[in-house]
């Protein structure tokens, strides 16, 4: 049947397109019938897929049917309101529509010329989002895939700022280079370590600064570490402050850290991947205290702004340093307008790039700032409520403050050693997740196995949080 050498016929696309849209609507409407965490064994899905690719084309309906037959029970449903693990990342319908359009355009924004609307919409959306989170006009921004990529570019810029000719000469085999050091707290995200190892700074190039009882970086310890390194001939170059750490969502004291960065002339990068969006909320403005002192900031709309994966925003006051670190223009990519426009390929390692800003355009316009603020604010309120429920029960213990929408807790019925309590909570978490009703994750805080519950789904309602709490209590109290 598919013997003409063209794409799928328009009528076929129309038919399957409507079917797919219906499928998506039903899926999202009935998502609670699935367990949020896939209960499948490793290898199960792989074994359902033919070992050989088809020699001749198949009906597209069969592919769609196989989504239900082959894939669906191997999906962990991030859009499920019972998904309260890690940090939620939920997609909204405007975001899903934008993804579809992005695939249809298939615009590649490597140069301004390769789609002027791409580069200019991205610039406009960065400008909107910058105002939404209260950053000054001094910030330039770009969309990358993930916060990991954003932070890697921040560290690369911090290193480029040193003018050590690393771009030309590299680092290996040079005895004219000092050892370089980056500082972040013990609670910083592993992406900082990864950025550092990607750039050849090594894991030893990072010093982890201790935190206080609220899991916030201790600025005095930071300054002490910097002084010690300088005394030992090591060159400090970058500090990463986290606003919303991954385990507990603690907020490092950015103001104090920025003062230290200023006095030692260090690049300050703020990792606000999860919590940064809350700077939109008037009563949460405190989290963006001293942000305008930072050299760079990362915020992920794909975490808590209902944006389908992936979309991370990187802001910097020094785009020229980023460009100096990464711009490399071969003859075949030169254009006549290079002096007048910004070519996004100059600001990072990737050449080709997806049209991600469409998602922001659809989402911000559809919900409006007020709609986004209301939704995120509701999540914070629900988390505070959940934290109060924990505090009100004698056999439960909260293990960290709740500045945003993530609650760290454990079950502690008393009369047990720390080791036994850890074991108890490990099996509690396992049973909760095997229930097929909700999905929670964990961390370890001061040696304590800690259960984490995050609220941030666009589909989260109070009944989901209440249901989760009833389930957690019931399972916990049935353990012995």
Q: Using CB under 6 A, list all residues that contact ligand PLP.
A: 87, 146-148, 189, 191, 242, 244, 246, 271, 273-274, 300, 312
Q: Nearest approach, Cβ of 405 to ligand PLP (angstroms)?
A: 12
Based on CB atoms, which residue is closest to ligand PLP, 146 or 198? 146
Q: Nearest approach, Cβ of 273 to ligand PLP (angstroms)?
A: 4
Based on CB atoms, which residue is closest to ligand PLP, 307 or 312? 312
Q: Nearest approach, Cβ of 289 to ligand PLP (angstroms)?
A: 17
CA distance linking residue 329 with residue 346, whole number of Å: 8
Based on CB atoms, which residue is closest to ligand PLP, 114 or 185? 185
Based on CB atoms, which residue is closest to ligand PLP, 122 or 342? 122
CB atoms within 10 A of CB 341: 15
Cα 295 off chain centre by: 20
Q: Nearest approach, Cβ of 167 to ligand PLP (angstroms)?
A: 24
The C-alpha torsion from 83 through 277 and 448 to 203, rounded to 10°, is 110
In the block, residue with structure tokens 């930071």: 222
Q: Nearest approach, Cβ of 243 to ligand PLP (angstroms)?
A: 8
Q: Nearest approach, Cβ of 242 to ligand PLP (angstroms)?
A: 5
CA distance linking residue 80 with residue 460, whole number of Å: 9
Based on CB atoms, which residue is closest to ligand PLP, 34 or 87? 87
CA distance linking residue 300 with residue 146, whole number of Å: 7
Based on CB atoms, which residue is closest to ligand PLP, 34 or 404? 404
Based on CB atoms, which residue is closest to ligand PLP, 347 or 396? 347
Based on CB atoms, which residue is closest to ligand PLP, 146 or 427? 146
Q: Nearest approach, Cβ of 300 to ligand PLP (angstroms)?
A: 5
The answer to whether 373 and 285 are in contact (CB under 8 A) is: no
Q: Nearest approach, Cβ of 154 to ligand PLP (angstroms)?
A: 11
């Amino acid at each position: 049947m598919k013997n003409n050498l063209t794409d799928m016929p328009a009528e076929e696309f129309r038919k399957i397109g409507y079917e797919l849209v219906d499928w998506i609507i039903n899926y999202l409407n009935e998502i609670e019938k699935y367990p949020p965490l896939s209960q499948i064994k490793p290898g199960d899905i792989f074994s359902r897929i033919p070992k050989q690719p088809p020699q001749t084309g198949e009906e597209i309906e069969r592919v769609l049917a196989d989504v239900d037959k082959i894939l669906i029970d191997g999906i962990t449903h991030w859009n499920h309101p019972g998904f309260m693990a890690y940090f939620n990342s939920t997609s909204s319908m405007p975001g899903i529509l934008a993804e579809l359009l992005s695939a249809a355009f298939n615009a590649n924004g490597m140069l301004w010329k390769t789609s002027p609307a791409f580069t200019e919409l991205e610039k406009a959306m960065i400008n909107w989002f910058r105002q939404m989170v209260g950053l000054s006009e001094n910030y330039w921004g770009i969309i990358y895939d993930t916060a990991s990529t954003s932070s890697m570019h921040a560290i690369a810029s911090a290193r480029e700022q040193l003018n050590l000719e690393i771009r030309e000469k590299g680092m290996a085999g040079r005895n004219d280079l000092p050892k370089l050091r980056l500082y972040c707290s013990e609670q910083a995200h592993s992406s900082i370590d990864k950025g550092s190892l990607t750039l050849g700074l090594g894991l030893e190039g990072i010093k982890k600064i201790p935190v206080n009882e609220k899991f916030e970086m201790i600025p005095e310890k930071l300054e002490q570490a910097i002084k010690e390194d300088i005394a030992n001939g090591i060159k400090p170059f970058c500090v990463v402050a986290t606003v919303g750490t991954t385990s507990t969502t603690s907020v490092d004291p950015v103001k104090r850290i920025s003062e230290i960065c200023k006095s030692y002339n260090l690049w300050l990068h703020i990792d606000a991947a999860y919590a940064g969006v809350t700077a939109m909320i008037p009563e949460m403005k405190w989290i963006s205290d001293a942000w305008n002192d930072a050299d760079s900031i990362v915020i992920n709309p794909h975490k808590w702004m209902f944006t389908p994966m992936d979309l991370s925003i990187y802001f910097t006051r020094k785009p020229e340093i980023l460009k100096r670190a990464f711009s490399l223009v071969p003859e075949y990519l030169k254009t006549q307008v290079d002096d007048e426009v910004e070519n996004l390929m100059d600001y990072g390692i990737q050449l080709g790039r997806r049209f991600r800003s469409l998602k922001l355009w659809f989402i911000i316009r559809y919900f409006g700032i007020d709609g986004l603020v209301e939704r995120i604010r509701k999540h914070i309120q629900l988390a505070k409520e959940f934290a109060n429920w924990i505090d009100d029960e004698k056999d439960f213990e909260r293990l960290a403050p709740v500045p945003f929408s993530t609650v760290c807790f454990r079950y502690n019925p008393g009369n047990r050693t720390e080791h036994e309590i850890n074991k108890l909570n490990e099996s509690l978490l396992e049973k909760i997740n095997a229930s097929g009703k909700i999905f929670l994750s964990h961390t370890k805080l001061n040696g304590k196995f800690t259960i984490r519950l995050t609220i941030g789904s666009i589909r989260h309602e109070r009944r989901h949080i209440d249901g989760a709490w009833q389930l957690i209590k019931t399972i916990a109290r049935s353990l012995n």
